[in-house]
Amino acid sequence: MPRFSVIAPAYRVKAHLHECLASALRRIARACCRRRRTPGHPVPARTRLRHTLVHLGLHRTFRALQWSSTAHRRGVKATVRLLKALPTTALRLHYRVQSRQRTDRAACVDFLTVQAGAVVQRTLDPVGFAQPPRWPEYAWAARHIGSGEVVIADGYHAVHAIAGYGPNLAAPAWPDPALDERERLRRLTDVRAYLAPTSTRAERTAVVRRYHVRWLLLTRWHPMPEEAVVVAWSARTGEVPARVGRGLPGITR
């Protein structure tokens, strides 16, 4: 190692120190390379690059390349795994879509099977779809019974449908917010008493006067009261509308 005078420039001293440090590091790297290599045996091809880099003192570069190679191998492995899982994922998605389509088709078929009877008439039905219940219409009775007039009916369909044509029932079939429930139940009791076979004319007249009843709409199984006046007849249901209450006080028409 050469000696320096006191007046030697400082940058030369610094450059020389850097050169000495680099030389020492190269010697250490070569010693490490020699310790890891068996004398008399060639360097394997797989580690030749690493030994060369260590021999030249470029071990940090080799480490960076090693990290890059590791990252590349891991990326390749991840890509291979993804490519292997892609067909399985595609098949699962395909089966799920097919299952959803089959479910939708089955629901559509069930809907058409259940609702087709409401669209296709029985005379035009080639399959035999289940037909929904078709309630009779009461427009024929509403032509005689005025809107707002009170009716007593004994048929299930008439009790639940005649009010939709304008007349009022003496005893509503359903709870009515405009009528107290106790009053509705009392009216139902009076209507049952009116329709009872053992009722007398005086009892029927009292019910008619109390609730201003003007019409009866009775089925063909119920006997017609003697004071009622029949005005029409339904060929489909056999029901008969009859006028009552004429001539009673407080009831006109």
DSSP codes joined into one string, 139-166: HHHHTTSPTT-EEEE-SHHHHHHGGGGS
Which pLDDT value is given to residue 96? 75
Which pLDDT value is given to residue 210? 93
Instruction: Determine the Cα–Cα distance for residues 170 and 210; give it in Å rounded to an integer.
Output: 10
- Which residues neighbour 209 within 8 Å (Cβ) at sequence distance 6 or greater? 245, 248, 249, 250, 251
| Bridge partners, 241 (sequence order) | 217
Instruction: Determine the Cα–Cα distance for residues 27 and 19; give it in Å rounded to an integer.
Output: 12
Strand (E) positions, the chain?
Answer: 150-153, 168-169, 213-218, 229-230, 240-243
Tokens of 227: 């004071």
Which pLDDT value is given to residue 4? 47
Which pLDDT value is given to residue 135? 82
Residue 153 backbone phi and psi in degrees, to 5: -125, 150
Which pLDDT value is given to residue 8? 52
Instruction: Determine the Cα–Cα distance for residues 197 and 188; give it in Å rounded to an integer.
Output: 16
State which residues of the chain have pLDDT below 70: 1-11, 29-63, 65, 100-132, 247-253
Give pLDDT tens digits for 104-137.
565 565 555 555 555 556 665 566 666 667 788 8
> To the nearest 10°, the Cα dihedral for 156, 161, 163, 168?
-20
